[in-house]
Amino acid sequence: MATGCMAPELELEAHAEETEELDTSADALASGNALSANALTANALSANALSANALSANALAPEAASALTDPGERGDLFRTLVKYTVSCALKESQSFRFSWTDRAGATHKEVYPGHLGLAPRWDRRPLDKEGKQMVSACLAAHTNRYGVSVLVSMRSRQTPLCHEVEDDELDEYPHVEGAFWGNLFTKTPYLRACYNTANVDVSRSAKRDCAAGHVNADGEIEGCGMIEIVGSCKESCGKLDRSGEYYKSCDDPELGKTRYIITTALR
The answer to whether residue 82 sits within a structural domain is yes
Is a pLDDT exceeding 80 seen at residue 263? yes
If asked whether residues 112 and 171 sit together in one domain, one would say no
Task: Give pLDDT tens digits for 141-188.
Answer: 988 888 778 888 889 998 888 766 777 778 888 999 999 999 988 888
- pLDDT tier for residue 258 given thresholds of 50, 70 and 90: very high
- pLDDT tier for residue 95 given thresholds of 50, 70 and 90: very high
The answer to whether residue 134 sits within a structural domain is no
If asked whether residues 218 and 174 sit together in one domain, one would say yes
The answer to whether residue 133 sits within a structural domain is no
According to the model, what pLDDT value does residue 10 have? 41
Domain region containing 34: 3-123
Pairing of strands 35-37, 256-258: unpaired
Query: In whole angstroms, what is the distance from residue 230 CA to residue 95 CA?
Result: 34
If asked whether residues 53 and 154 sit together in one domain, one would say no
According to the model, what pLDDT value does residue 110 have? 95
Return the SS3 of 105: coil
CB 122 within 8 Å of CB 132: no
Query: In whole angstroms, what is the distance from residue 196 CA to residue 122 CA?
Result: 32
If asked whether residues 96 and 174 sit together in one domain, one would say no
The answer to whether residue 36 sits within a structural domain is yes
According to the model, what pLDDT value does residue 51 have? 53
CB 35 within 8 Å of CB 152: yes
Average pLDDT, the chain: 78
Amino acid at 30: A
Lowest pLDDT segment from 104-118, 150-164, 191-205: 150-164
The answer to whether residue 203 sits within a structural domain is yes
The answer to whether residue 161 sits within a structural domain is yes
Overall number of domains in the chain: 2
Q: pTM for the whole thing?
A: 0.81
Is a pLDDT exceeding 90 seen at residue 126? no
The answer to whether residue 132 sits within a structural domain is no
Which of these, 116, 135, 113, 159, lies nearest to 57 by C-alpha position?
A: 135
The answer to whether residue 190 sits within a structural domain is yes
According to the model, what pLDDT value does residue 46 have? 58
| Domain end residue (candidates: 123, 140, 162) | 123
According to the model, what pLDDT value does residue 254 have? 80
If asked whether residues 114 and 167 sit together in one domain, one would say no
Average pLDDT over residues 123-139: 90
